Chain A
């Protein structure tokens, strides 16, 4: 019923906290029409974003994301379908390493960009869930 997608990308050097806030608030304002929710991490110059919602809306949004000039090296790291939403109500965002419990960073052996050799799709999804303190949803 729902599609869930996680991508990582590198922010261009001029991106600041204000830009990240901007991305989130616009998503919040537009989401009532697109029905998408999710979570965004901005850590050490990398974006890690989870999007979920109707497959058609996800495809449309992802197209726009690919064209956004604020980032590059965009890669999909995780995709699945699910009957439940991890973020039913809202967009959440964490924008700084200090906002994440250090224990989580340690236990996942966090490295900037969540490199592929140590983070496969499932691991990224688990990491995001832990960061946002979301109970794991087993579909």
Chain B
């Protein structure tokens, strides 16, 4: 199988010729004298096909060299110097009239690196940098350090395009946790074998950490070559594995960064392929994603914003804005949704889509969320009219043990009746730890607090979640509401949702109503309430009285 893979990626004739004349041949050998890694230059130098020679004893490889002169010279240099483990030598092939300089460097721990370059008569052989601990004990792949140094070497002299693939196993952690670390180790070995089989012999394959792997692919045209390799790896790793009579399924997600487009150094490429990997995981399991420059921008911004966010929570730099909801039948205001806004002293207004996800990822959403609930209750309790107040709850908050005490405390301190408080959750909040989340929701509901499902219709199985918990309200996502007066399809769908709501005793809110036409259609389709710019954008406390005055 390996041989046919060499034909997949188009390598131009020009590139091959360039490699031969200016390239540096590199061969990395472990302490058992087996070849751990060698680049195409090396195989061209000794005129042997790479297929079948990786992880083979260097002695056997040298013995297979057909050209007598080359074979004898290399063998003698290697064995003369393997004891001392560091050497440089020059040799000359009489018939080809070429001179070579060769250096052997030891690795701290184990192994050797052989570097061979064509030399001019006067050139002094350069010592290759020393490599540290190049091979991963468990899998036999390169370690992170080995990968970095091997890659740097290749990139220094390379005029070719290079892809770095950052691979993360999708379902490894549950397997490791339930079946034990020894079993997990077996899985990693199988993964390593499959990765080696999917790559060409002169691609560098490494195990970076835990269940993360990296591959350096040289000499293909990007992004096609990287994509082709990623697809091969993806399908290989999703084939079931039989280990100790257990069949398990592991998939992978892959991020790809290329040289020269996405970075100049191996560090840049690894970092950017990691960012691409995270983007891949956001899309879904088992996907492949190429690095795009905006990912780096976003990461930079995050690094800047995160410490500010911690600070802001302590210093209470946030403000609540309120957006009204109106009953479509009575045309009366019923409640307000509280939305958090962040006014940074120097960076200005930071939009929620830039700090809420960050807050969720860092867990800072818990103290932030508590601040929101506390303040929303306090503000609402002071209103002249008994309007309801709705607050968004994230998955992270739902699984925090602090949630219920915080909510109870907020109601008590503010004096707000529980029935006026509504908590909005999306279906993703229910997806992952569903039974614990549902138990929490029941507890909240038992206090009299209302629970609404937000963005209804946008998830995988919104209707299914209606079965799992007795929601008080469904908020129909704006994507159904926009243009509902122009689209029979949207109208029919909303009508179906409201009919469902009616049957189950659940009220329905049309979100994102922006025109009179949409309001009218939402009303006739059976929606209980509406929310949107037609009524009002979210406003700060200071403008609430005016707003209420205008709308009542």
Contact = CB atoms under 8 A, between A and B. Distances in A.
B420 interface: no
A24 B231 CA distance: 16
B10 A32 contact: no
Contacts of B14: 98
9 contacts: A25-B261, A25-B291, A29-B289, A90-B228, A91-B223, A91-B224, A91-B227, A95-B221, A99-B12
Contacts of A25: 223, 261, 290-292
A34 interface: no
A99 B219 CA distance: 12
A127 to B, nearest CB: 16
A92 B224 contact: yes
A90 B10 contact: no
B261 A18 contact: yes
B222 A21 contact: yes
Contacts of A128: none
A129 B291 CA distance: 28
Interface string A28-57: 110010000000000000000000000000
A34 B287 CA distance: 15
Interface in A112-129: none
B408 interface: no
Contacts of B5: none
A26 B283 CA distance: 14
A92 B220 CA distance: 12
Contacts of A101: 13
Contacts of A24: 223-224
A131 to B, nearest CB: 10
B290 A29 contact: yes
Interface in A49-104: 89-95, 98-99, 101
Contacts of A136: none
A90 B14 CA distance: 24
B228 A32 contact: no
B228 A21 contact: no
A90 B231 contact: yes
Contacts of B223: 21, 24-25, 28, 91, 93
Interface string B247-265: 0000000000010010000
**At the interface, is chain A mostly helix, strand, loop or mixed?**
helix
Contacts of B290: 25-26, 28-29
Nearest to A95: B221
A28 B222 contact: no
A94 B291 CA distance: 20
Interface in A1-43: 18, 21-22, 24-26, 28-29, 32
Contacts of A22: 261
A137 interface: no
**At the interface, is chain B mostly helix, strand, loop or mixed?**
mixed
Contacts of A18: 261
Interface residues of A, number: 20
A99 B224 contact: no
A90 B283 contact: no
Interface in B284-299: 287-292
Interface in B212-254: 221-224, 227-228, 231
A35 to B, nearest CB: 14
Interface residues on B, range: 20 to 34
Given A26-B292, A28-B290, A99-B10, A94 B221 contact: yes
Given A26-B290, A29-B289, 13 more contacts: A21-B222, A21-B258, A21-B261, A25-B261, A25-B290, A28-B223, A28-B227, A29-B292, A32-B287, A89-B228, A93-B223, A95-B221, A101-B13
A133 to B, nearest CB: 7
The 7 closest A-B pairs by CB, nearest first: A25-B290, A92-B224, A90-B227, A99-B12, A21-B261, A25-B223, A98-B14
A139 B249 CA distance: 37
Contacts of B13: 101
A90 B228 CA distance: 7
Contacts of A32: 283, 287
A89 B234 CA distance: 12
Interface centre among A90, A95, A101 (most CB of B within 10 A): A90
A29 B289 CA distance: 6
A54 B153 CA distance: 45
Contact of A98 (B12, B227, B228, B292): B12
A6 B291 CA distance: 27
A89 B231 CA distance: 8
Nearest to B11: A99
Contacts of A21: 222-223, 258, 261
A89 B288 CA distance: 12
B394 to A, nearest CB: 26
Given A21-B222, A29-B292, A92-B224, A133 B12 contact: no
A62 B290 CA distance: 22
A30 B289 CA distance: 9
Contacts of A93: 221, 223-224
A90 B292 contact: no
Nearest to B261: A21
A59 B289 CA distance: 24
Interface string B1-38: 00000000010111000000000000000000000000
Interface in B386-436: none
A104 B306 CA distance: 55
Nearest to A40: B224
Interface in B269-287: 283, 287
A90 B226 CA distance: 10
B125 to A, nearest CB: 33
Contacts of A95: 221
